Amino acid sequence: MFRLLRTNAFRLAALYMALFAVSVLTVLVFIYFSTANFVERQAEETIGAEITGLQEQYRAHGLLGLIAAVNSRTATERNEPTLYLLTDPRLHRIAGNLAAWPQTAAIKPGWVEFSVSLVRRGQPVTYDALASVFILNGDYRLLVGRDLRDAAVFRRRVAQTLFWAALLTLALGLVGGLFMTRNVLRRVEAVNRTSASIIQGDFAERVPVTGSGDEFDQLASNLNAMLDQIERLMAGMRQVTDNIAHDLRTPLSRLRARLEVTLLERPDANRYAEALAETIAEADHLLGTFNALLSIAEAEAGARRDHMATVDLDEIARSVVDLYEPVAEERGLKLALDTTSPALVRGDRHLLSQAIANLLDNALKYTPEGEVHLVLRRSNGGHIELEIADTGPGVPAAHREHVFDRFFRLENSRSTPGNGLGLSLVRAVVKLHGGEIRLEDNSPGLKAVMILPAAPERAVVSINRSAA
């Protein structure tokens, strides 16, 4: 319960309760005063009607007529709540149902309020009354009043009713508020419980979704989506770690074995130098794998998304082709380039260069003869398509998705140098740029198609080459 008092939801509920109570009370007070006034105004109206009747008598028959009228009205019990008193100038009673001029009532014309004490049926009664006072010719005075006992009773009853109504409203409000607060708290508590068990290490836990589609459900779905994403990333990380462990362990043990065997051999400076050179080459290969893994992780994490600019894929592709042209010639392959300019995309020049270099590297590496053809074109629908087609052995359809996995290498390519990370990086880069990459049959050969969203034509940014 104390925990409940400390929660924000409870504080909010309490604040609403307070506001609610104030408005209910205001309304009730208003109702009370307007009803009470209504009763008093009714008394005034009744008195006014009596006075009109008496005035007519007075005008028609003079003082005697008035006395007669007063007497006749006071004779019947029916008129009990109405008070009459007619006095001479010295305030001696001439007629009426009051014994004497009330002490608290002023002796001047107008409305007066006073209390009346009298004995009715052997009981002393005191009550409030309202009256109008007139001064007639010859300084005779007339007081016509009304007993306010009914009004007082009515007012008390209204007050009581309103009091209980207020109490009931507040009680209902409090119960409702507590109920709602607890309801909200229970949903928050569910999120808290899930977080706590995830902190404890149970990553499979998810926030329950009630299916009502309300804000809490949306929060729960978003949190779950976030957790799924984190789990995916963690699974990716774990896979990378496993792969690194696996892929680096082999060359590391080879490296270690080489050194050990060299030590066992007869000491020979030349042999040692040779072994060390081989070891350095092996270490360089390891560093290459390591750097490739880091680049992939970086691209996959999307860390470089902030550093994207509008770049010309045509210029990037040309530059990469320029880098690889001698390699193609060396292998007796034709490297053809077919581009359109400008081919603007929003991206990271370094990563795009590396991705195209990896694709080109693969194409050149696995093509024994024929040509490698790089085509850049703008497709309908605001995309830039980069296609690298070779006349090599291609990739069987069943393996076309797997080749993008880390360290995946086709059986017949194991003898070719490479770390099995090139295409993983390509896919990570393409994904980072919001594009897609797929492999197709070039019959014969392989066709890699990279599709990137085109950038708006206007935002042309020149690409600086910082050549020495």
User: Shortest Cβ distance from residue 14 to another protein (Å)?
Assistant: 50
Task: Find the part of the chain contacting another protein (CB under 8 A) among 35-43, 155-163, 279-287, 396-404.
Answer: 279-287
Contact assessment for residue 336 and residue 372, using Cβ atoms and an 8 Å cutoff: yes
Contact with another protein (CB under 8 A) among 182, 206, 318, 350? 350
Strand, helix or coil for residue 385: strand
Pairing of strands 446-453, 383-390: antiparallel
- Out of 3, 90, 121, 465, the residue judged to bind another protein by CB under 8 A: 465
Binding track over 220-259 against another protein, x by CB under 8 A: ----------------------------------------
Q: Interacting stretch for another protein, rule CB under 8 A, among 10-18, 95-103, 165-173, 275-283?
A: 275-283
Structural element, H or E, at residue 38: helix 8-75
What is the dihedral sign for C-alpha 315, 319, 320, 324?
positive
Q: Counting contacts by CB under 8 A, is residue 365 touching another protein?
A: yes
283 forms part of the interface with another protein (CB under 8 A) = yes
For another protein, the binding residues in 397-426 under the rule CB under 8 A are 417-419, 422
The amino acid present at 91, given as its one-letter code, is L
Gyration radius of the chain's alpha carbons: 51
Select 89 or 288, whichever has its Cβ closest to another protein: 288
User: Quick check: 287 binds another protein (CB under 8 A)?
Assistant: yes
Q: How far is the CB of 360 from another protein (least distance, A)?
A: 9
Candidates 33-41, 43-51, 352-360, 399-407 — which segment interacts with another protein by CB under 8 A?
352-360
> Could you tell me the two tokens for 248?
């680096």
- d(CA 330, CA 328) in angstroms, rounded, equals 5
Q: What sections of 265-348 are H helices per DSSP? A: 269-301, 313-330
Cβ closest to another protein, residue 288 vs residue 444: 288
Per CB under 8 A, 309 contacts another protein: no
Answer yes or no whether residue 366 interacts with another protein by CB under 8 A.
Answer: no
Q: Which amino acid is at 446?
A: L
Q: Which of 298, 371, 405, 436 binds another protein (CB under 8 A)?
A: 298
Beta carbon nearer to another protein, 105 or 328? 328
Quick one: which segment of 53-61, 193-201, 213-221, 460-468 binds another protein (CB under 8 A)?
460-468
Give the Cα separation of 104 and 269 in Å (integer). Answer: 135
State whether residue 422 is helix, strand or coil.
helix
Name the minimum Å distance from CB 325 to another protein. Answer: 8
Q: Is 310 in the site for another protein (CB under 8 A)?
A: no
407, 251 contact by CB (below 8 A): no
Cα gap 409→413, rounded to integer Å: 7
Tell me which amino acid residue 66 is: L
Q: How far is CA 156 from the centre of its chain?
A: 50
Q: Is residue 260 a contact residue for another protein (CB under 8 A)?
A: no
Exposed / middle / buried, residue 222 (Cβ in 10 Å: 0-12, 13-18, 19+): exposed
Residue whose CB is less far from another protein, 235 or 276: 276
Closer of 348 and 387 to another protein (Cβ): 348
Which residue, among 178, 216, 215, 188, has the nearest Cα to 13 in the 3D structure? 178
Hey, what amino acid is at 16?
Answer: Y
Q: Reduced to 3 states, what is the DSSP secondary structure of residue 240? A: helix
Q: Are 185 and 177 in contact (CB under 8 A)?
A: no
C-alpha–C-alpha distance, residues 300 and 296, integer Å: 6
Comparison of 109 and 302: residue with beta carbon closer to another protein: 302
Instruction: For residue 361, state whether it binds another protein (rule: CB under 8 A).
Output: yes
Number of residues in contact with another protein under rule CB under 8 A: 39
307 touching another protein, by CB under 8 A: yes
β partners of residue 337: 374
- Shortest Å distance, C-beta 465 to another protein: 6
| Rounded Cα gap, residues 314 and 235, in angstroms | 36
Residues interacting with another protein, by CB under 8 A?
Answer: 277, 280-281, 283-284, 287-288, 290-292, 294-295, 298, 303-304, 307, 319, 322-324, 326-327, 330, 350, 353-354, 357-358, 361, 364-365, 417-419, 422, 465-468
